[in-house]
Amino acid sequence: MPFLTEETQEVLDLVNLSLIAGMIANGVYVFVDGPAVKALGDLFTLGIGDAPRRAAPDA
């Protein structure tokens, strides 16, 4: 498609990674219920979730 750039695949890979990280974190929350674990999981998913925005700042 003409409106997609070369960075599209990179951003899609990062979005998929973000979704997987969220699923892993939520899976851990099922077994471990603690504020420290929740905070660590939130930082982990936030760092990965922010990666697509950093990869394509013009969008």
Q: What are the residue boundaries of the structural domains of the chain, listed by start?
A: 8-55
Q: Which residues contact 56 (CB under 8 A, 6 or more apart)?
A: 7, 11
CA dist., res. 49 & res. 59, Å (int):
15
Q: Are 11 and 56 in contact, with CB atoms under 8 Å apart?
A: yes
pLDDT per residue as tens digits for the range 30-59: 999 899 999 999 998 888 877 766 666 665
- Closest listed residue to residue 16, CA positions, set 57, 55, 28: 55
pLDDT per residue as tens digits for the range 16-29: 888 898 899 999 99
| pTM of the entire predicted model | 0.71
